[in-house]
Structure 1
Amino acid sequence: MISFHTLMGAIALLSGAFNLVTTKGTKTHRIMGWTYVLSMGALIITSFAIFDLFGGFGPFHVMSMISGVTIALAVYFPLRRHKHKNWLEHHYMWISWSYVGLLMATGSHLFEYGPEGWSGLARAFLYWGLPCIVGASIIYWNKKRLLTKHS
């Protein structure tokens, strides 16, 4: 299960990164977007079969549920665009934050391998704080440009 979970995570990281840096709204964007969504779905589902860390339901399972909500909302708005005037903005925000969450979750797996001598707080900043700050900056910096270009 862990191997499949890891594979789905790698596919999500790559397809999500691809969509972040390439032209939006193309056929390739939609294919890679669905690849991201499906791999995230598999990643989320398989996370509920992994109990090694806490011996049962733990905080990462809660984060998986939150991730499921972000993915569902990211997909909902484009599928229902005829009902939502600002569907593109909603899609952009939910899918972008989904990817930031994925980066932070990936960091959680690297936590114990952080720079030697760094405190837990410093590692938390490296793996959670930094992706969140950089991600937020990029999301909000690109938001107006992307939405103006594609509306």
Structure 2
Amino acid sequence: MSSLTVPGSVHTVLAAAGIVLGLIQFLARKHGSLHRAVGYAFVYVMMIGDCAALLVVQFTGAFNILHVGALINLVCVTGGLWPVLRSPRRPDWREKHYLWISLSYLGLMAAAATELVVRTIPFRSTGQSWLVTLAVTLAVTLVGRALILRHRPAARDPV
């Protein structure tokens, strides 16, 4: 197994921090200064961690599908931050914020589950590892989708 590069180490540490921060957000009350502070920490961790991921090329030597995931996550984080920072805020800003940030966390969890499986199970072939990677990603995504829909904030009437 190869050792981590500096960008790989930064990405790994920040991804782990993102998992913890996202879990705190999921379990804690959704309003107030704690939610804001942890939320901004999550956004910074994800943005820097995704940018670090874009510098990791040790597996294939070039841009690959994993980099696409980092770019998609950057879009999700930005999509989650935009409704909060926009002025004036649209009536549906909470729903948009929740959806985009939830998708970012879901992507992080799918990547973490995939990383865990790929690093712990010995595969006989690259094809076998890609098939398992797809299955794990799909399973985490389906469970995450169900949780996102179940816990989404109630729609608000326009002001």
More helix per residue: 1 or 2?
Answer: 1
List 4+ stretches of structure 1 deviating above 6 A.
none
Q: TM-score, normalised by structure 2?
A: 0.83
Q: How does 1:1-151 map to 2 (within 5 A)?
A: 1=6, 2-80=8-86, 82-114=88-120, 120=129, 121-122=131-132, 124-125=134-135, 127-143=136-152, 146-147=153-154
d(CA) in 2 for partners of 1:115, 1:46: 25
Tell me the residue number matched to 2:3: none
Q: TM-score, normalised by structure 1?
A: 0.87
d(CA) in 2 for partners of 1:91, 1:111: 30
Distance 1:45 1:123, change over 3 A: closer
Q: Counterpart of 2:88 in 1: which secondary structure?
A: helix
* Aligned Cα root-mean-square deviation (Å): 2.3
Structure 1: which 5+ runs fail to align? none
Contact 2:53 2:67 (C-alpha < 8 Å) held by counterparts: yes
Q: Counterpart of 2:63 in 1: which secondary structure?
A: coil
- Report how many aligned residue pairs link the two structures: 147
Structure 2: which 5+ runs fail to align? 1-5
Identity %: 25
Report the CA distance between 1:86 and its aligned residue.
Answer: 0.5
